[in-house]
């Protein structure tokens, strides 16, 4: 599931009757408000049969996407989008069972809900395209299902992002999963995977990870469940897909104030410099013991604190647990790219060791001189292109963070900066045969990011 910001997608949506709205932020779309069958739609054409389901459901399903989004944002509640296909048996079953599912209906009554046909259209670049073909809804793969956006959170960075995608592709099981999420019945995914084998001794876990040449995942928890821990343990860690990936890790659970014996001295592990980017918060960190020959062997290669008390959802944990081998800074920036709402594809190719060295070198250089830019790019372009071979051409993106941010905040911010530049975003969003990312902090407290790709020549 990809986390997509509906705010980015629909900041331009206002409930008006006629006119053009151009210059959409982020997505660069242009929308026309259409009047169809007496219903005002912002860029969406609604077939006349779209409202036929409403009476049977006896729920307050809206049919105006823009107005529903505005209401959810105004009321600080979640927004549920239901793409319905009259020919999909799962939709009919969902409608029937939802009518009698009191807990699910109660959940929906606290949200702002909109029901759309799967062929709802939006005008983009003067052409009509199906709304489901937009990147915000790609996980539904053009079919029926539910998408839940979160406007209830107080976190600015999390507000308006997708917290759950529930496609109706696998019949009754998909309906069960949707109703489970809405609180109607036990989640069919829970209990499928084996339980997590948590260790509780740092020295023993480290020795095991090193001896078995595996990654060590450290979960720093708060016993009272605050700071996102309760959500992480009762939602994210219960998902079968998360547990399956954790099977390849040695898993260690420690309190945020746990003390360990390091070189004869008792130390609060979370305060050790190696875990500085956890910024003292609960969350997960990863130490790499998988390859004794790697330069980062035995080093912390991931730090993902629960910023502002927000735990990572299953999709984010999937990204965290499947990041390619690399240094802490490299993996964090790759995470930021892979979790961007628009699902850019620049990390879908092969992470190239040589490009990693170039990205690291340039990030270090920018940090040292405390100046963002494509410094000496002409000479570096020829050098890198010459090394790539295969007809590939080097291309580069650079960015800088706000001062005083931690690593994760800075990485997310730099990717957002790239989104604001059409030229940079073209490189970040496109798939390339090879890629590399890195980010380093200058003495001024600003992080400097670099992405280098080998793109096919034309």
Q: Average pLDDT, stretch 83-89?
A: 89
The DSSP letter of residue 455 is: E
Q: Average pLDDT, stretch 385-394?
A: 93
Q: Are residues 110 and 204 in the same domain?
A: no
Nearest to 219 by CA among 320, 296, 330: 320
Q: Average pLDDT, stretch 252-271?
A: 93
Among 181, 211, 240, residue at a domain's last position: 181
Among 155, 181, 207, residue at a domain's last position: 181
Q: Are residues 47 and 175 in the same domain?
A: yes
Q: Are residues 176 and 69 in the same domain?
A: yes
Q: Are residues 19 and 51 in the same domain?
A: yes
Q: Which residue has the higher pLDDT, 280 or 17?
A: 280
Q: Are residues 316 and 385 in the same domain?
A: no
pLDDT (0 to 100) of residue 185: 55
At 130, which CATH number?
3.40.30.10
Q: Which residue has the higher pLDDT, 120 or 41?
A: 120
pLDDT band at 65 (very low <50, low <70, confident <90, very high): confident
The answer as to whether 190 is a domain residue is: no
Q: Average pLDDT, stretch 66-87?
A: 91
The answer as to whether 331 is a domain residue is: no
The answer as to whether 424 is a domain residue is: yes
Q: Are residues 373 and 408 in the same domain?
A: yes
The answer as to whether 374 is a domain residue is: yes
Q: Is 211 exposed, middle or buried (0-12, 13-18, 19+ CB in 10 A)?
A: exposed
CA angle 422, 313, 433 (to 5 degrees): 40
The answer as to whether 177 is a domain residue is: yes
Q: Are residues 20 and 83 in the same domain?
A: yes
Q: Are residues 360 and 412 in the same domain?
A: yes
Nearest to 80 by CA among 104, 47, 55: 104
Residue numbers of the domain that contains 218: 198-322
What is the tens place of the pLDDT at every residue in 233-251?
Answer: 988 998 877 888 899 999 9
Total domains, the chain: 3
């Amino acid at each position: 599931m990809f986390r997509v910001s509906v705010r980015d997608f629909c900041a331009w949506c206002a409930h008006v009757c006629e006119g053009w709205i151009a210059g959409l932020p982020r997505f660069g779309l242009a929308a026309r408000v259409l009047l169809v069958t007496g219903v005002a739609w912002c860029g969406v054409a609604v077939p006349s049969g779209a409202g036929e389901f409403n009476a049977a459901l006896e729920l307050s399903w809206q049919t105006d996407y823009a107005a529903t989004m505005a209401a959810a944002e105004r009321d600080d509640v979640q927004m549920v989008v239901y793409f319905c296909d009259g020919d999909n048996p799962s939709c009919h079953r969902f409608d029937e069972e939802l009518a009698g599912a009191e807990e699910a209906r109660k959940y929906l009554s606290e949200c702002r809900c909109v029901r759309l046909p799967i062929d709802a259209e939006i005008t983009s670049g003067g052409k009509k395209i199906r709304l489901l073909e937009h990147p915000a809804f790609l996980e539904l793969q053009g079919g029926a299902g539910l998408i839940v956006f979160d406007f209830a959170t107080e976190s600015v960075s999390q507000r308006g992002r997708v917290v759950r995608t529930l496609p109706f592709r696998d019949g009754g099981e998909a309906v069960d999963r949707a109703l489970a999420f809405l609180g109607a019945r036990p989640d069919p995914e829970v209990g499928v995977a084996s339980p997590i084998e948590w260790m509780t001794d740092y020295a023993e876990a480290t020795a095991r990870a090193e001896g078995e040449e595996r990654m060590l995942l450290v979960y720093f928890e708060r016993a009272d469940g605050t700071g996102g821990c309760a959500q992480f343990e009762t939602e994210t860690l219960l998902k079968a897909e998360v547990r399956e990936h954790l099977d390849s890790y040695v898993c260690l659970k420690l309190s945020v104030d746990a003390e360990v014996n390091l070189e004869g001295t008792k130390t609060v592990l979370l305060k050790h410099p190696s875990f500085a980017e956890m910024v003292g918060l609960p969350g997960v960190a990863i130490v790499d013991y998988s390859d004794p020959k790697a330069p980062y062997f035995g080093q912390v290669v991931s730090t993902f604190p629960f910023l502002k008390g927000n735990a990572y959802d299953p999709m984010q944990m999937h990204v965290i647990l499947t990041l390619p081998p690399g240094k802490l800074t490299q993996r964090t920036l790759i995470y930021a790219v892979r979790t961007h709402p628009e699902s850019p594809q620049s990390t879908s190719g092969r992470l190239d060791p040589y490009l990693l060295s170039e990205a690291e070198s340039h990030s270090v250089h920018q940090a040292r001189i405390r100046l963002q830019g494509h410094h000496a790019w002409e000479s570096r372009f020829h050098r890198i292109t010459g090394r790539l071979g295969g007809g590939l051409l080097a291309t580069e993106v650079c960015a800088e963070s706000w001062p005083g941010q931690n690593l994760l905040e800075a990485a997310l911010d730099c990717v957002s900066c790239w989104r604001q530049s059409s030229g940079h975003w073209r490189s970040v969003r496109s798939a390339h045969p090879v890629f590399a990312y890195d980010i380093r902090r200058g003495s001024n407290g600003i992080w400097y990011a670099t992405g280098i790709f080998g793109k096919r020549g034309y």
